[in-house]
Amino acid sequence: MRLDLAGKAVLITGAGSGIGLACARAFLAEGARVGMVDRVAPPLLPGEVVVARADVTDETEVAEAVRVVAESFGGLDVVVGCAGVSGPVGRALADTSAADFAAVLAVNVTGQFLVAKHARPWLGRGSAMVFLASDSAFVAAPGMVPYCASKGAVVSLTRALSVEFDDVRVNCVCPSVVDTPMARGDLGDVLDDPAFPVQAADDVAQHVLYLASARSRTVDGQAVLADFGMSARSGFPA
């Protein structure tokens, strides 16, 4: 399928590693121009790349990073919000502080809000935003309350922005467990269990490419769930 992304100006948050880095590589492979935004310097990639450092919880830094990338490219065609944290994993609610909860929402939700707010003036008709949510917006595991709440909020934010922006499509991808440094730090060797379905960061990047392209022009305000069909299975032992 031709995605016709060559020459498109793309801004990606969380581009230093994991899914964000996979998205940067995938867009560059399509011939796009990519602005890589992260708190730390991302790896050097071949192609037309602009790097800007920002903590997505800091509005001043986000605004400046967006400005640097957008002015370098003369505007933006695509914004991809990949910056995210897992927060406390496997911790009971009674042991989770309000500060822990707020820290997860600050990155996973407020960070998406801020990049949308400051990128919006640089986006023209036919442009697209794609956020990274999670299957945890729809299903839950014990000890994941902050993360699940944050990803559910991203799904609702996606829908709200798709209505707010009449000329920019806004969608999100909701993958199940992805083999990234963050996931390995949380789950360890579980990711290597053949019985445990795990996807690669590039699998997610391919969904992002489609949602960013004109091939998905009729898709707006949607949460694309990519979980190997696990959420469709009944929990009954029948």
- The string of pLDDT tens digits covering residues 45-75 is 999 999 999 999 999 999 999 999 999 999 9
* pLDDT reading at 161 higher than 80: yes
Q: Is the pLDDT of residue 160 over 70?
A: yes
Q: Is residue 227 part of a domain?
A: no
Closest CA to 85 of 197, 211, 186, 189: 186
Residue 226 lies inside a defined structural domain of this protein: no
Domain contains 171: yes
Structural domains in the chain (count)? 1
Residue 213 has pLDDT above 90, yes or no: yes
CB 21 within 8 A of CB 44: no
- Domain with residue 211: its CATH number is 3.40.50.720
Angle at 22 between CA 18 and CA 23, to 5 degrees: 115
Rounded Cα distance, 33 and 27, in Å: 8
Is 195's pLDDT higher than 80?
no
pTM of the model: 0.95
Average per-residue pLDDT for the chain? 95
Q: Evaluate whether residue 15 is within a structural domain.
A: yes
Annotated catalytic residues are 134, 147, 151
Q: Does residue 237 form part of some domain?
A: no
**In whole angstroms, what is the distance from residue 80 CA to residue 131 CA?**
6
Of 98-102, 147-151, 193-197, the least confident: 193-197
Does residue 27 form part of some domain?
yes
| Residue 184 contacts residue 191 (beta carbons within 8 Å) | yes
Residue 207 has what pLDDT?
Answer: 98
For residue 238, what pLDDT is reported?
A: 62
Confirm whether 1 is domain-assigned: no
What is the residue-wise DSSP string for 74-137?
Answer: TSEEEEEE------S-S--GGG--HHHHHHHHIIIIIHHHHHHHHHGGGEEEEEEEEEE--GGG
Domain residues for 104? 9-220
CB of 113 closer than 8 Å to CB of 154: no
What pLDDT is stored for residue 193 in this prediction?
A: 77
Percent of the chain with pLDDT over 90: 87
